[in-house]
Structure 1
Amino acid sequence: MSNPLADISTALTAHGLIPRGGFNFSAGEEAPTGLSNVPAKSVLLIGQAGSAPWPHFLRWHEKQPRHLKNPLDTWSREVIGAVAEEFGARAVSPSDRPFLPFQQWAMRVEGLKPSPLGILMHPEYGLWHAYRGALLFDHQIPIQAPENPIHLCDACIGKPCLNSCPVGAYSADGFAYETCLSHVRGPNGAPCRDTGCIARNACPYGTEYRYAAEVQAFHMKAFAGL
């Protein structure tokens, strides 16, 4: 008998994406609507580890209009939407309005905690992973409960992520968004623009999954609106 989750995983792998875990909504829990326009019974998060989707995205992007806005979001929606249609689910995205609680879902399904940079710290991938969307099902799906992973930030001495930002945008007080944005857009922001966030790259964990420089530059350009 076919295993739906294994089949979904196979379909996603063709695009460099992976299932990131899921859960069944409990009775009485508020849930977004599923495919049948009634509250969904379960959710399966879809994402990536490292730069695996990048070559798939690039091949798609080459065929799109030159000035397409938010191309990675558009690609993710198309790919995850097609998988949702194949497996009878509703696809949703982190950028959907009103926003869905993707970060809370992610912490719930993988037992992760935020790093000092706000990015969830993964025990294997470090900071080099992302959630690209989710599938909402009208029925419950077989889900394995997450383990309780070690939070690597607790074992990190010196917190290099907090000490390496050239403008001190990260601190115990939170993220100084405008300070970071001004720096990335400014004349001294080339290292961040071209090779990625210096603070994120200072993290010693999951380095084998670190995004390639061109991938980081793509994300920094989108962040800065350049």
Structure 2
Amino acid sequence: MARSIWTTGAGYSAIWDGAFHEGNLFHITEAIVGGVGCTALFGLIAVAVFMFITTGMKMSHSEHLEKEMFETEYGVTGMVKEKSRAYENTFSLGIAGGVVLCILSVVPIIIAGAADAPDYIAAICVAGLLVLIALGVNIIIRVSMIKSSYDALLQEGEFSKKEKKVKGTLDALSGAYWSLATAIYLGWSFWTMRWDITWILWPVAGVLFAAVSGIVRAVMRVDE
């Protein structure tokens, strides 16, 4: 177990290993690189879990806005529409900027490859690529969440009353569908003992569920 964890940490620290250890920029041994990588890995996981839990608890009180139909107080809809229109420019710039950062993230690696740079320079460029992608995705998610909050209050887009009805039906269907798929998988697997073949049920079930969801959406729209 300890060896497995150490190997995982060393794997996640491969970029730093290439930049510092192989490049001989500092006198850092492979053991230190593995330890630092393992510590950074679990530290980042801990921070991410903390953020997921605290954010989820803060937003839990407003989940009904995304699932249930409601009526706003007088003047609220107009105020939210005004703020939503004012935010459209920021939203567009945020999406465009995030996408541009993701596209430009490969430029340092291309330059390093064209210049035939040393391995440690290429490793640093890979680190830069990940940083630029992280920044771009962060911007996209942030502006999208704010835009979604306006849509939820206005009950527009994916939060419209029609979509909420469809989602309610699909949620009920999803629970029954995947429970049935699990029962079929287990029954088939234990009956034949061919676990090396029965796994094929899951990709088939996934594609079939997408088709069923599309049919349900189409039927509900026709009924309306």
TM-score (norm 2): 0.21
Higher relative contact order (CA 8 A, sep 6+): 1
**Greater strand proportion:** 1
Q: Considering only CA atoms, is the larger Rg found in Structure 1 or Structure 2?
A: 2
**Greater helix proportion:** 2
TM-score (norm 1): 0.21
